[in-house]
Amino acid sequence: MVRKFKYNLMLGALLFSALSVDAQWTGPKKKPTELKEVKYGSLVFANRTDVAMEAFRNYGLGQFIHWGVYAIPGNEWNGVSARNGAAASEWIRAWKGPAAPNNWATIYDNLYKQFNPIYFDAKRWAKQAKAMGAKYMIFTTKHHDGFALWPTKYSPYNITKSPYKKDIVKEIVDGYNAEGIDVFLYFSILEWNNPDYMSKVPSTDEEKTRYNKFLQYTRNQLIELLKNYPTIKGFWFDGTWDQSWIKSHEFTYALEKELRTIKPDLIIGSRFRNDEYGKRHFDSNGVLLGDYEQGWERKLPEDISWLDGNDWDCVMTIPPNGWGYMKDWSGLYTKTTDDIIELLMKSVSMNGNFVLNFGPDGLGNMHPGEDVIAKELGEWMKVNGEAVHAVRYADFPKTNYGYYTQKGKTLYLTVVNRPNNGVIRIPVIKNSKEVPVNALILGSSFTDLLVKHADIGYDLDKNTYYDVIIPKEYISNRTFVLKMQLGEPRVNSSKLMDAKM
């Protein structure tokens, strides 16, 4: 099985596992050619099998919310767009170029005085997420601008200083938990306006003192979050790429240990820290540094073999790249509900969770385009959610019709490409003990489709085929799901003579 224990050969601090060595999110991982002694490597070593991690594997669909002061400008200021001057809407504080307003960073750093989301209602958001089929959500407690949405004791730059005043993180955790949705907290390590933060490695005594203060501050805030919101399931770390953090491997190793001691079932992805050689996500021997791969941001693996059996999530924006509120979507390709369903099914078909991002506005409303997608995706999930939640990779030959998922003896095929001839031909490895024996279309009256064994007899073919006939009367205007039961084959494939040439 793909989700089996994987990295468990350890002798002292030296790892003897011939596994992925390069943290690559764009292709299969490379095998290590030599093994190193790693002192500040993984604290996990194997796919965890506790309740929290099993729940993580079953989520299928999640919601990401990027919310903070950047929601007020919404990627523009006084009618001038930041589109070509800021990397993304939530990066607007770093707006550069001729269109950027004078003293922009100072203007931005004072925006919190206007942050008053009078329409914010965590219960409403949570109900929407539930109706969409999300089983977990990730919420930005603090993005790169450093503004904390909870009343942290460790920085004055927090929600209590805004006109809104109330603890937004608490409202989110309580609101989503009440709907049965698990909450993970997004936390940016890097902070643009913190005088103690620096991206380079501190070199002078003064810099070292300041950066140490920053490290302690980070530790304090994380422990504070764990204590304030004990029902959270994990942290989703970000902003960990600067050299200052990379060189703090002793500190980050100890901190991860401490966080895991406070909450032993805490889930932490691979972005939190690196080993002593600066290897991020995976240590120098290719061992995952956390509970799941956290590098699939706006991208997906092409094949399950790229994942080496690791748990993972894919986080995705609706606009091309923009996580915080973006008032103006015009002129951008924004993903359609069909796009999102396909990305979702591709992710879950390879054992990943798909997490769709929302960037609400400064008053507490979702973008109207997000409301449409949430509604349409929810309608689809209501019918087809069983092919998304608590499913696993199905070990069947790939097909161009769409994506397989499996739950016990039930095989799902999400049909993205419906064939003109109405025949969905399922390839099955010859002599398989489990083949599709019946089929239906979820959410339709077509509950007993014809399933025919097609022993085509292609020479040298490793597969035999099961044809599922989709009735012409079945009208589909979106991707649909075939639900099939697996059972013993009723007939064997005939053994044909290989052609002599």
Instruction: Using the rule CB under 6 A, give the single segment among 11-19, 83-91, 122-130, 342-350 that binds ligand FHN.
Output: 83-91
Is 323 among the residues that bind ligand FHN (CB under 6 A)?
yes
- In whole angstroms, how close is the CB of 141 to ligand FHN at the nearest point? 12
Give the C-alpha distances (Å, rounded to integers) separating 32 from 112, 284, 479: 48, 8, 41
DSSP per-residue letters across 70-138:
GGTTTTEETTEE-TTTSSSGGGGGG--STTSPTTHHHHHHTGGGG---TT--HHHHHHHHHHHT-SEEE
Binding segment for ligand FHN among 86-94, 336-344, 371-379, 386-394 (CB under 6 A)?
Answer: 86-94
Nearer Cβ to ligand FHN (23/413): 23
- Residue 223: count other Cβ atoms within 10 Å of its Cβ: 15
Selected from 196, 265, 297, 376, the binder of ligand FHN by CB under 6 A is 297
The answer to whether 359 touches 92, Cβ cutoff 8 Å, is no
Smallest distance from ligand FHN to CB 447, Å: 41
Instruction: Please select the residue that binds ligand FHN; options are 53, 71, 88, 287, rule is CB under 6 A.
Output: 88
Q: How many residues bind ligand FHN (CB under 6 A)?
A: 8
Q: Is 90 near ligand FHN (CB under 6 A)?
A: yes
Provide the minimum distance between the beta carbon of 415 and ligand FHN in the complex, in angstroms, as a whole number. Answer: 30
Q: State the Cα–Cα distance between residues 45 and 250, nearest whole angstrom.
A: 18
**Minimal distance, residue 323 CB to ligand FHN, in Å:** 4
Beta bridge partners of 492: none
Give dist(CA 82, CA 69) in Å, integer: 15
Minimum distance, C-beta of residue 297 to ligand FHN, in the bound complex (Å): 5
Task: Please say which residue, 85 or 385, places its beta carbon nearer to ligand FHN.
Answer: 85
Q: Which residue's CB is nearer to ligand FHN, number 349 or number 357?
A: 357
Query: In angstroms, how far is the first alpha carbon of the chain from the final one?
Result: 39
- In terms of Cβ atoms closer than 10 Å to its own Cβ (0-12, 13-18, 19+), residue 84 is exposed
Residue with tokens 């767009």: 81
Residue 289 touching ligand FHN (CB under 6 A) = no
Residues 9-68 within binding reach of ligand FHN (CB under 6 A): 66
Using CB under 6 A as the binding rule, whether residue 315 contacts ligand FHN is answered as: yes
Q: Strands 182-188 and 80-81, how do they pair?
A: unpaired
Residue 467's Cα: distance from chain center in Å?
Answer: 34
Cα–Cα distance measured from residue 83 to residue 65, given in angstroms and rounded to the nearest whole number: 20
Alpha-carbon distance of 312 to 348, in angstroms, equals 10
Among 167, 238, 283, 361, which residue sits at the site for ligand FHN (rule: CB under 6 A)?
A: 238
Per-residue interface string for the shown chain with ligand FHN, residues 91-130, x marking contact by CB under 6 A:
x---------------------------------------
Residues contributing to the site for ligand FHN (CB under 6 A): 66, 88, 90-91, 238, 297, 315, 323
